[in-house]
Amino acid sequence: MDLSWMGWTPFTATFFVVIASLIVSMLVWEKLVPGGAPRDGILGFETTRGDRLFVSLLGSAFIHIGWLFFIGDMLWWALILSFFYALAVFRWV
């Protein structure tokens, strides 16, 4: 199968592997501890682990886009900021 039109690079492959790994990890977590641990966080409505993962991924995308626009292509700092953002989301949202 020719996937050259997609412009696969090690970075895009890593991106998709990480997203797939997160989804599989959430599946395993849900199988081990069912229920999704719903709770009311600072958003004011009930969220589950899956909701918090989605908010983390969406926020991380915006952090990276903003970083590229305002700062440049040194994305390691954006990755670190996104990691701490995800920790905060899973803790308080």
Q: What is the pLDDT of residues 19-75, one digit of tens each?
A: 999 999 999 998 998 877 788 888 788 888 889 999 999 999 999 999 999 999 888
Threshold 0.85, pTM exceeds? no
Mean pLDDT score, 71-90: 93
Exposure b/e, 54-80, CB count within 10 A at least 16 = b: ebbeebbeebeeebeeeeeeebeebee
Burial label for 51, CB within 10 Å (0-12, 13-18, 19+), is middle
Q: Which of 20, 32, 10 is nearest to 57 (CA)?
A: 20
In the chain, what are the domain boundaries?
4-92
pLDDT score for 21: 96
86 versus 73: which is more confidently predicted?
86
